[in-house]
Amino acid sequence: MTRTAELLRQHLIDPEICIRCNTCEETCPIDAITHDSRNYVVLADKCNSCGDCLAPCPTGAIDSWRRVAAPYTLEQQFGWDALPVDDSGDGVVAEVPDEVTQLTAVANQGQGGLLPPPWSAAHPYVGLYTLARPATATVSGNLRLTAEGAESDIRHIVLDFGSMAFPVLEGQSLGVIAPGADANGKPHHLRLYSVASPRNGERPGYNNVALTVKRVTADREGNPVRGVASNYVCDLKKGDKLLVAGPYGASYLMPNHPGSNIIMICTGTGAAPMRAMTERRHRRMALKEGGKLLLFFGARTPGELPYFGPLQKLPKELIDVQLAFSRVPGKPREYVQDRMRASGATVARLTADENTYVYICGHKQMEQGVEDAFTDLCSSHGTDWTGLRAQLRAAGRYHVETY
């Protein structure tokens, strides 16, 4: 399985089946299809997957897709006699449901689309378990992370896969399949949760993973709603079984080479991948591989900051933890971007180092503030953030997952 199995779902036309009838090119509302004397091809940077071309195609050639790290160029596609072999599975078929791809695409908007993973990322498995063939996990722990009085209920859930292989890397997510059906009788949507534990298990050597799940009780506008999957997961008791699909994600992965630095910027349950990466490094401290960890973590109050206690106990030589609280009575509101500005020199120095990788995870609202902070601290250190960000993206050094 390639590590890039869901980086980009590229729309292609099967040249073996296509009869060059021109219907797709005629139909496409945004002129994203063109042809030469050999093949009809889709312009990867233009196609928005609207699907208008699918039904009119008489042959089905138009309904061809490949998950790729970098899109096939027009020249490559014009030269094809047949589609390239779909090698997104080393003997294992990766099935990534469309809704997972869509969720990932939305989550990755902030980084400007799908990007490559760090060069030293480990090889991820993607889509081993599907909606049709899910894995069964047993709940081996369910712990409230937020303080008793806190407004939000964020939980640390530990799932055990028993003898079932569920290899998952820091930064990857898994899909929870809530039982039952919605009001229209349709199965509930798959919900994705980032794993909060490192690759060798929440408890080293055990086949288990941890999730950080917030019980959803209101929608974005603050109206009361009951999140189906989050409430289902938060209410699970030790010993309960649940169905899981995945793993998913082949880009938001940590670097593994010695000396690599990681800047982590998160809010709320966006802490999950940060905790996983931090734990990975924590467990390998004795190897003295070097590399700095810098964490900017925001919450309303300390009581609502998941893993607040354990974070305090991490060795200073492992990680520089910068916490920002926006609703502490009697104190000015502080956000992650404020802590970033306060550490401006460190951030600027680290981002200039090609061994530094940036990870952002949390609410969509944090994006703009983080962008502004990067822009300011870069300009005050004589660099241009827009140019730097483009370099970081291209090198798989800048990863955003916001929701």
Which residues contact other proteins (rule: CB under 8 A)?
Answer: 15-17, 19-23, 26-27, 29, 37-38, 52-53, 55-60, 63, 81-82
Is there a catalytic annotation at residue 21? no
Q: From the candidates 88, 152, 194, 197, which is the catalytic residue? A: 194
Cα separation, 159 vs 240, whole angstroms: 10
The tokens for 400 are: 């955003």
Nearer to other proteins, 50 or 143 (CB): 50
Q: Of the residues 50, 151, 380, 403, which is catalytic?
A: 403
- What is the Cα–Cα distance from 203 to 347, expressed in whole angstroms? 32
CB of 24 to other proteins, least distance (A): 9
Please say if 361 is a catalytic residue.
Answer: yes
Q: Which is nearer to other proteins, 85 or 286 (CB)?
A: 85
Q: How far is the CB of 5 from other proteins (least distance, A)?
A: 22
What is the smallest separation between the CB atom of 53 and other proteins, expressed in angstroms?
7
Point out the catalytic residue in the list 193, 248, 252, 307.
Answer: 193
Closer Cβ to other proteins, 24 or 115, answer by number: 24
- Confirm if 6 and 100 have CB atoms less than 8 A apart: yes
- Min dist. Cβ of residue 298 to other proteins (A): 44
In a 13 Å sphere around the CA of 217, the CA atoms on its Cβ side amount to 7
Looking at the Cβ atoms of 17 and 321, the one nearer to other proteins is 17
- Rounded CA-CA distance 361/139 in Å is 25
Catalytic annotation present for 163 = no
Q: How many CB atoms lie within 10 A of CB 338?
A: 18
Q: Tell me the one-letter amino acid at 214.
A: K
The two structure tokens encoding residue 283: 């467990």
Token code pair at residue 184: 């229209």
**64 tagged catalytic:** no
Amino acid identity of residue 43, one-letter, is L
Query: Is position 194 annotated as part of the catalytic site?
Result: yes
Nearer to other proteins, 63 or 367 (CB): 63
Phi-psi region of 259 (alpha: psi -120 to 50; beta: other; left: phi over 0): left
- Rounded least distance, CB 139 to other proteins, Å: 38
Enumerate the active-site residues: 193-194, 361, 401, 403
